[in-house]
Amino acid sequence: MHVIDHTKGQPSESETRNVLTESARIARGKITDLAQLSAANHDAAIFPGGFGAAKNLSTFAVDGKDCKVNKDVERVLKDFHKAGKPIGLCCIAPVLAARVLRGVEVTVGHEQEEGGRWPYAGTAEAVKAMGAKHCVKGVTEAHVDRKNKVVSTPAFMCETALHHIHDGIGAMVTEVLELARK
């Protein structure tokens, strides 16, 4: 959607980036276009969060509960779900499952801002408006929807120390791996 200069917390007016190129830079190498991802070749899928998920993987940043999900993201979510393979989502990414998988249970953390600790608490209402069930969880926790094999954690939806976010993401990954073994 646009590039953010995180040193200023503002959009960079003169810069553009390619999501695939940036993914390769961050992952330091071999990546594949999401259009080529097949549930048949993988045990699970994990979607990282970050506002890019709300801007580039969907239109949630602009359209909220009425968002559209990128067609490849939607296909991957549906394919993994249909195959009974686990899906992990962190931070804002649970809105993707809320939009695509009817009745799914996810967490984006708490439903009240609690003095600024949960600045994006309103996202829980959008999750509910999309037909999903929102489950309140702390930042170090993951919610497991065993029926749908969907695991989510709040991550940066909470203003807290990085090690707490790390713990929650670790809990999500651990649960996804556990579901993949079953």
pLDDT reading at 2 higher than 70: no
Specify whether 90 is catalytic.
Answer: no
pLDDT reading at 1 higher than 70: no
Q: Which of 26-30, 152-156, 178-182 has the highest mean pLDDT?
A: 152-156
Q: Vertex 59, ends 54 and 60: CA angle to 5°?
A: 55
Residue type, 106: V
Distances (CA, A) of 134 to 129, 137, 176: 10, 9, 19
Phi and psi at residue 63, in whole multiples of 5°?
Answer: -105, -5
Phi and psi at residue 61, in whole multiples of 5°?
Answer: -60, -30
Name the CATH code of domain 37-181 (choices 3.40.50.1860, 3.40.30.10, 3.40.50.300, 3.40.50.880): 3.40.50.880
116 — pLDDT class (breaks 50, 70, 90): very high
CB 173 within 8 A of CB 166: no
More confident residue, 23 or 117: 117
Distance from first CA to last CA of the chain, Å, rounded? 38
User: How would DSSP label each residue in 70-81?
Assistant: -HHHHHHHHHHH
Range in 20-24, 37-41, 151-155 with the lowest mean pLDDT: 20-24
Tell me if residue 47 falls in helix, strand or coil: strand
In the chain, % of residues over pLDDT 70: 99
User: What is d(CA 96, CA 15) in angstroms, rounded to the nearest whole number?
Assistant: 27
| Six token digits for residue 107 | 């967490």
Q: What is the pLDDT of residue 15?
A: 78
Q: What is the pLDDT of residue 85?
A: 98
Q: What is the pLDDT of residue 27?
A: 83
Q: Catalytic pick from 90, 91, 135, 158?
A: 91
Q: Where are the domains of the chain?
A: 1-31, 37-181
Q: Could you read off the pLDDT of 50-67 as tens digits, one per residue?
A: 888 999 999 999 999 999
